[in-house]
């Protein structure tokens, strides 16, 4: 229902199960006939109640005529497999790496958001050969510079057995719960939230076992301090950041950029935008990605 025209669903098997992704394969893109001639762009969604590759679906079709597009649902989200487990940082660092190794033959540009963008930085540090460049929206580990989200009042409540799943089923995986999350946590302007967005998030949130990944995120089990890693990054990177992002304001991104100016070649704040510019202002996001791709494709002496 929520796949853009010309995109189809495929999958690979990771160590935690089947990982679904979307790629252009038919009219108007007809990807299969010329895919080997195209550079690949990989779009990775962030985390929240009902997250999935839908998060980038208003952006990645704009690049399908020029690039091979891959947009997965991460393990535990969307149509990918949902193992019943308490997820840890290493689960996503590992499965992102496995996914790239299976779907990409050459170093690629990865476009990722929020906590997933922070995971991707860690993958790029450990496996730099997999990456050509990074374009990151609000990359944050949620425990950055000693500010530990997992100690917050809400995270502590969700750690109580039985309470956690009750909160998920009644407060997150419902139409009102999804809408409230989008209004309070993701969007700066609630008027930009339309029904399809709510429906897409709700569908993802209601898959069997969807609560495991979501609750691991809400409890803070997936948080880490990205500032302890950022200086090790060598992949050419650009960052954009919604000025009204909850919990993780743009000052965090500026500090990251200042810590590693050699790798992080540009930082762009977007005013009056929340955590997901790719849904709130997709046309602006497309323009920024094009700008960043041009910048990152220049030779180092041109920076």
Do the domain assignments include residue 1? no
**pLDDT for 26:** 87
pLDDT number for residue 37: 78
Which pLDDT score is estimated for 157? 66
Burial environment of residue 277 by CB neighbours within 10 A (0 to 12, 13 to 18, 19 or more): buried
Is position 62 within any domain?
yes
pTM for the whole thing? 0.94
- Residues in the chain with pLDDT < 50? 32-35, 301-303
* Structural domain includes residue 38: yes
262 in a structural domain = yes
Distance CA 247, CA 256 (A): 16
pLDDT (tens digit per residue) in 247-303: 799 999 999 999 999 999 999 999 999 999 999 999 999 999 999 999 998 855 444
- CATH number for the domain harbouring residue 227: 3.40.50.1820
Is 99 part of a structural domain of the chain? yes
What is the pLDDT at residue 303?
Answer: 40
Q: What's the full length of the chain, in residues?
A: 303
Range of the domain at 130: 7-302
For tokens 């530990």, the residue is 148
User: What was the pLDDT predicted at 246?
Assistant: 79
Domain count, the chain: 1
Is 148 contained in some domain? yes
What b-and-e string marks burial along 197-231, b requiring 16 or more CB atoms within 10 Å of the CB?
bbbbbbbbbebeebbbbbbbbbbbbbbbbbbebbe
- Asked, for residue 2, whether it belongs to a domain, the answer is no
């Amino acid at each position: 229902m929520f796949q853009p025209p010309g995109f189809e669903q495929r999958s690979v098997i990771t160590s935690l199960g089947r990982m679904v992704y979307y790629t252009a394969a038919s009219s108007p893109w007809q990807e299969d006939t010329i895919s080997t001639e195209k550079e690949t762009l990989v779009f990775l969604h962030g985390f929240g109640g009902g997250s999935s590759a839908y998060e980038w679906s208003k952006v990645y079709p704009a690049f399908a005529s020029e690039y091979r597009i891959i947009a997965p649902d991460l393990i535990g989200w969307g149509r990918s497999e949902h193992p019943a487990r308490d997820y840890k940082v290493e689960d996503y660092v590992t499965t992102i790496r496995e996914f790239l190794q299976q779907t990409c033959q050459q170093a690629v540009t990865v476009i990722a958001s929020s906590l997933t963008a922070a995971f991707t930085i860690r993958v790029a540090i450990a496996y730099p050969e997999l990456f050509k460049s990074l374009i990151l929206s609000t990359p944050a580990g949620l425990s950055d510079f000693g500010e530990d989200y997992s100690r917050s009042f809400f995270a502590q409540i969700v750690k109580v057995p039985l309470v956690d799943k009750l909160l998920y089923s009644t407060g997150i995986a419902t139409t009102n719960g999804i809408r409230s999350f989008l209004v309070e946590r993701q969007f700066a302007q609630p008027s930009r939230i339309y029904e399809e967005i709510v429906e897409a998030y709700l569908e993802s949130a209601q898959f069997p076992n969807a609560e495991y990944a979501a609750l691991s995120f809400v409890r803070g089990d997936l948080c880490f301090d990205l500032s302890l890693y950022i200086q090790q990054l060598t992949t050419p990177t650009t960052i954009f950041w919604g000025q009204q992002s909850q919990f993780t304001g743009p000052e965090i991104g500026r500090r990251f950029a200042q810590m590693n100016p050699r790798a992080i070649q540009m930082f762009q704040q977007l005013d009056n935008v929340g955590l997901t510019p790719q849904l709130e202002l997709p046309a602006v996001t497309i323009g920024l990605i094009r700008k960043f791709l041009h910048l990152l494709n220049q030779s180092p002496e041109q920076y």
